[in-house]
Every structure is written in structure tokens, then in C-alpha cells.
């Protein structure tokens, strides 16, 4: 593939090409992401995972072998109890300990970290993300980073000089690039000394007790974040890794890590993409586990199909902020996605629209969990639009099987693949209706008939409607339209005055979906008793 191939025009392709250019002879391209599991891992954290996955896919599309590592920084300090977490008192008692050593407040896993880790790893399974998970607590405690820690200690003056460039208060002359936890209390109130070889001694500041650790044997000693990150770049040979904009500012952790990995470890800084935050429509600002302002990947997948969720992230450049919507904007997002699918399947014709088709195609190809590609000029598999499907599901009281049978009878849904896609979308639509749809959007067919007082014209129109339905109880939507037009002949009444009454009798709402569609889909036999109840016997 030549770099000028217009198909490979996504920002992930550009990042992949920069990575290849920086390491043209690499046999394996290592890309990395990571997070501290100090709370519920939310959809904002997911942006880092999907950013790396998109670049990994772009590299593979260049024929490169890729290793995608995801680090769980579970050896970090537990600093703050998240709002809404159970066992608040127990969690407060475990502040200042390693996250890997805090008990699971849910009682399901061996630690608080393990609970949060398992939840995220399970939630991304439908999204087709192929990565190798690494728990840093295990790496440190196994002594894997002994050489990296010793190198930092030997080069501590260089590190101090680099970090002091951006600090208001310079680090003390006897500062050591170390952090860790007391093996007895588990807390991080330690001061350190180093013998110049492999032994680090520590003093527990609260008690004065001392101990020693041989770095080669592992233990509870680690590097602070700004040194840990570049050390691991060198250890793993990371070639691409993104970072949030809080890491990307002048003097931020990426800035200092670039210098440390070069001057201390003789390695390279990975190619880098800064990504912006993801917000939730109506909340605003950065999603935060500690504040309880959390929407998870599972939450999003309950409303958005896996490919659509991936497409949503792939559609924005990484450095662009956007919002995940759970309100009526969900309909708009589905409509935009369906238009993109239709556009991507159109054949190129040499015209101006070809560029838009290629962009849509490439974005959808990167978004597909299974890596399937759109074939130009082919018909996309049938999927009903969100709005009419939501109407149908409400008429059927959420019965997905009946809704599917409706589309099978119409001939629109005909293949096993379309059936799978339908089931997935229908579950998402019904979840949205039950959990997030505004009240004015929702309705149910009345379980019991109600009787309303009618004036003369309303009674005549309703009698005509009932008669038309009784005359043709198997009428289709189109066959009912002429009957609707005849309801008001000779009356001082029109649809605006009459239809709210019919909607009220059927769905307890003054308006709803197209009336002929509502009646035929719910079934004329079901509609008639609800309409007859307001007429004289």
C-alpha cells in the first residue's frame, strides 16, 4: 500500500504511518494504553483504548505485526473514595494503600482493583479489541522492573534536573525517584535510602520502623508516575501511545517522559496522539469516577450497537471533544450512522462524492468489531431505522420476536445476518425506551378500554372509523388511508380535532405515530374494543 492511497485517509492511518516511519525495520509494532483502576472505568477512559485499537488496526492494514498492551496501573495509591461506591467506611480505612490491596467492596473479587478491571475487560468483549492486559502490581512485585528502578536511581540527578524545569518548588537535593508501600500497614508513608547497588531501605514515617528490599526480588517499591511511564516505554519498546490532554500540556508528563526515556533509558518516546475528553449530554465537563459522574462502556452498549459505538469514536479526530447522548439525540446518532452505512455501500463513480464515500467506508471498516470491510456497490444488510422500530416495539409492548416477525412478513428482513443485526438493534432501542426516552416519546397500548364523552360530530366520526375497521379487519396501512379521508364528510370536524381523541382511546396520549400505521400494526382486532367503548351499545 502506498502512503498516497486515498482509502487510508483516517487519522489512525496517519498515526500508523508516522509510527512505521519512526521504526521502519521493526518486526513487531508495540502500541500501548493504560489506566489506574481507582474507580469505575468509564466511557471517557475507553477513548484511550479505542484510540490505540484504531491505530493498531491501521498498522495491521499495512501488513505489520502488532502487539497491543494495556497496563492496569493497579500499583498506584488509592487516594479518594468514589461517590456511590458501597462500603464507604471500609474504603476510607484503606486510603493510601495500593489499589491492588484494597478489598473489593462488592465481595466478588480478590481486590477493589480486580473488580474494576474485570468489569472493563468483560464489557469490551463485544467490541473486538485484541489486547494483552498487564497488571503493574504483579510486574513490580515480581522484580521485573529492578533494572529500570536501579537505572533511575543511578540517574536521579538527571531526572531531578528534567522535572525541576517545570516545578515551582524544586525537588530536594536528596530526593530519590521512589515510591512504595509499607508491607505491614500497606500505606505509602515511607522515606527511602539506597545503598548504590540493589538494596533500598525504607523508614515508615508514622512509626519509625525500618525495612529493606532487594530490588531483584521485587516487593512493594516502585517508581513515581513521571518516571514509571518512560521506564516502561523503554522496557516494552512502545512505539505508539496516546494521552489525555491533561498529560499533553507544556511540562506535562509526556513532555518530561520524552526527556527521561532518552537521557536515562536510552530509548525513544512513542508516537503520540493527544485525545480530548468525552462528556455525557446534559452533564457537561469531564467524566469522573471519584465524583460518581460515571457512564460505563456497558451503559453505552445497552443503547448503542458495538459497531455504532466504535464508529462514533472513529468519526471524531482524537483531539476533538464530543458527547455521548442518551436523550433524543440518540435517534439522530442512529440516523447519521445509517446514512454513513448507505453512503459507504454506494459504488464510486469518479465524481466529487467519491471522497465522502471513501471516508465513510474507511471509518466503518475501522469500526467493525470483526474487521469486516464494506464492499462498494453492494446493498447493506437491512436494519430498521431507530424511530419506526421504537414505534413498533412500543405497539408490541417490547416483544422483539413479534417486531421481527413484522419485518419478516414485509420481506424486508430475510437473512440470518439481518436477523442478528435486528435483534441487537431492537434490544438497544427497547433499552433506550425503558431507561432514557422522555415521557412524551413513550406510550403503551391501553390494557383496558376507557369511555369518553363525545359531541355529535366526534361520535359520527368514531362510528365511521369503527365501521371501516369492521368492514376490513385485515386492512393494510395504505388501505386505511382512503377511509380516514372519508371520516369527516359533512362534519365540522377535522383530523386536528378528532385524531387526539383516537390516540387517547388507544394509547392514552394526545398524539403518537401515524394513526393508520398504529392501528394496523397493533392489529384492528385489538383496536376495535378500545374504540367501541365510547360509542352507544
Q: Looking at residue 496, which CATH number applies to its domain?
A: 1.10.10
Q: What is the CB-side half-sphere exposure of residue 517 using CA atoms within 13 A?
A: 13
Q: What is the CATH number of the domain that holds 197?
A: 2.30.30
In a domain? residue 419: yes
What φ, ψ does residue 188 adopt, rounded to 5°? -105, 25
Both 135 and 108 in one domain: the answer is yes
Q: Are residues 103 and 230 in the same domain?
A: yes
Whether 87 and 114 map to the same domain: the answer is yes
Tell me how far apart the alpha carbons of residues 294 and 271 are, in angstroms, rounded to a whole number.
Answer: 30
238 in a domain, yes or no?
A: yes
Asked if pLDDT for residue 170 goes beyond 70, the answer is: yes
CATH code of 57's domain: 3.40.50.620
Over range 247-265, report the average pLDDT: 90
184 and 127 in a single domain? The answer is no
* DSSP H or E stretch at residue 34: strand 28-35
pLDDT at 237 over 80: yes
Per-residue model confidence as pLDDT tens digits over 329-380? 999 999 999 999 999 999 999 999 999 999 999 999 999 999 999 999 999 9
Structural domain includes residue 67:
yes
Higher model confidence: residue 522 or residue 283? 522
Quick one: pLDDT at residue 292? 52
- Shared domain for 139 and 266, answered yes or no, is yes
Flag whether 333 is in a domain.
Answer: no
**Do residue 415 and residue 499 come from a single domain?**
no
Provide the mean pLDDT of the chain.
93
Q: Is residue 6 part of a domain?
A: no
Confidence class for position 251, pLDDT limits 50, 70, 90: confident
> Does residue 82 sit in the same domain as residue 142?
yes
How many Å apart are CA 56 and CA 13, to the nearest integer?
9
Element (H, E) at 35: strand 28-35
Same domain for 398 and 255: no
Least confident of 71-75, 89-93, 134-138, 484-488: 484-488
* Phi-psi category of residue 515: left, alpha or beta, with phi > 0 → left and psi -120 to 50 → alpha: alpha
- Same-domain pairing of 416 and 468: no
Which of 435, 458, 462, 457 has its CA nearest to residue 530? 462
Residue 367 counted as domain residue? no
The answer to whether position 283 is within a domain reads no
Range of the domain at 398: 386-441
**Nearest partner of 396 among 429, 361, 351, 364, judged by Cα:** 429
Predicted confidence at residue 249, as pLDDT, reads 77
Instruction: State how far the alpha carbon of 504 is from the alpha carbons of 200, 307, 451, 499, 508, in Å.
Output: 78, 38, 10, 8, 4
Question: Which pLDDT score is estimated for 241?
Answer: 97
- Least confident segment among 132-146, 289-303, 400-414: 289-303
* Tens-digit pLDDT profile for residues 178-190: 999 999 999 999 9
- Domain total of the chain: 4
CA atoms within 13 A on the CB side of 270: 28
| pLDDT for the residue 293 | 60
- Is the domain of 407 the same as that of 272? no
Please tell me whether residues 267 and 135 are part of one structural domain: yes
Using a cut of 0.85, tell me whether the model's pTM lies above it: yes
> What is the 8-class DSSP label of residue 266?
S
**408 and 428 share a domain?**
yes
15 within a domain of the structure (yes/no): yes
Amino acid at each position: 500500500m502506498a502512503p498516497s492511497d486515498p482509502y487510508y485517509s483516517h487519522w489512525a492511518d496517519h498515526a500508523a504511518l508516522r509510527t512505521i516511519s519512526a521504526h521502519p525495520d521493526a518486526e513487531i509494532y508495540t502500541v500501548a494504553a493504560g489506566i489506574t483502576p481507582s474507580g469505575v472505568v468509564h466511557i471517557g477512559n475507553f477513548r484511550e483504548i479505542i484510540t490505540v485499537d484504531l491505530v493498531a488496526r491501521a498498522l495491521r492494514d499495512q501488513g505489520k505485526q502488532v502487539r497491543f498492551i494495556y497496563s492496569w496501573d493497579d500499583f498506584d495509591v488509592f487516594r479518594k473514595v468514589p461517590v456511590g461506591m458501597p462500603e464507604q467506611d471500609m474504603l476510607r480505612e484503606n486510603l493510601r494503600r495500593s489499589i491492588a490491596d484494597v478489598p473489593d467492596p462488592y465481595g466478588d473479587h480478590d481486590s477493589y482493583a480486580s473488580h474494576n478491571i474485570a468489569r472493563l475487560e468483560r464489557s469490551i468483549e463485544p467490541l473486538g479489541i485484541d489486547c494483552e492486559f498487564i497488571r503493574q502490581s504483579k510486574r513490580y512485585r515480581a522484580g521485573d522492573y529492578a533494572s529500570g528502578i536501579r537505572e533511575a536511581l543511578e540517574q536521579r540527578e538527571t531526572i531531578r534536573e528534567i522535572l525541576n524545569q517545570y516545578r515551582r518548588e524544586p525537588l530536594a537535593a536528596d530526593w530519590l525517584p521512589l515510591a512504595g508501600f509499607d508491607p505491614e500497614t500497606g500505606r505509602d508513608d515511607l522515606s527511602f535510602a539506597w545503598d548504590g547497588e540493589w538494596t533500598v531501605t525504607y523508614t515508615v514515617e508514622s512509626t519509625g520502623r525500618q525495612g529493606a528490599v532487594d530490588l531483584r526480588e521485587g516487593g512493594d517499591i516502585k517508581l513515581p508516575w513521571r518516571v514509571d511511564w518512560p521506564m516502561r516505554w523503554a522496557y516494552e519498546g512502545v512505539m505508539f501511545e496516546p494521552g489525555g490532554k491533561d498529560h499533553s500540556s507544556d511540562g506535562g508528563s509526556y513532555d518530561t517522559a520524552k526527556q527521561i526515556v532518552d537521557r536515562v533509558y536510552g530509548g525513544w518516546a512513542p508516537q503520540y496522539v493527544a485525545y480530548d475528553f468525552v462528556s455525557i449530554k446534559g452533564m457537561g465537563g469531564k467524566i469522573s469516577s471519584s465524583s460518581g459522574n460515571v457512564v460505563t462502556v456497558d451503559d453505552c452498549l445497552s443503547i448503542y450497537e458495538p459497531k455504532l459505538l466504535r464508529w462514533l469514536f472513529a468519526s471524531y479526530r482524537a483531539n476533538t471533544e464530543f458527547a455521548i447522548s442518551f436523550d433524543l439525540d440518540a435517534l439522530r446518532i442512529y440516523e447519521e450512522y445509517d446514512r454513513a452505512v448507505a453512503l459507504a455501500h454506494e459504488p464510486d463513480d469518479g465524481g466529487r462524492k467519491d471522497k465522502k464515500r471513501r471516508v465513510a467506508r474507511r471509518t466503518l471498516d475501522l469500526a467493525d468489531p470483526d474487521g469486516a470491510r464494506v464492499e462498494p456497490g453492494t446493498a447493506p444488510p437491512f436494519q430498521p431505522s431507530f424511530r419506526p422500530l421504537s414505534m413498533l416495539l412500543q405497539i408490541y409492548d417490547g416483544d422483539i420476536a413479534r417486531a421481527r416477525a413484522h419485518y419478516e412478513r414485509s420481506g424486508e428482513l430475510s437473512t440470518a445476518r439481518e436477523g442478528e443485526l435486528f435483534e441487537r438493534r431492537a434490544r438497544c432501542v427497547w433499552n433506550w425506551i425503558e431507561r432514557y426516552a422522555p415521557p412524551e416519546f413513550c406510550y403503551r397500548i391501553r390494557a383496558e378500554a376507557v369511555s369518553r364523552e363525545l359531541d355529535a360530530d366526534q361520535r359520527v366520526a368514531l362510528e365511521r372509523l369503527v365501521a371501516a375497521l369492521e368492514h376490513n379487519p385485515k386492512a393494510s396501512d395504505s388501505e386505511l388511508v382512503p377511509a380516514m379521508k372519508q371520516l369527516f364528510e359533512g362534519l365540522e370536524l377535522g383530523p386536528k380535532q378528532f385524531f387526539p381523541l383516537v390516540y387517547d382511546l388507544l394509547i392514552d396520549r394526545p398524539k403518537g405515530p401515524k394513526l393508520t400505521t398504529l392501528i394496523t400494526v397493533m392489529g384492528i382486532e385489538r383496536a376495535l374494543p378500545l374504540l367501541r367503548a365510547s360509542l352507544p351499545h
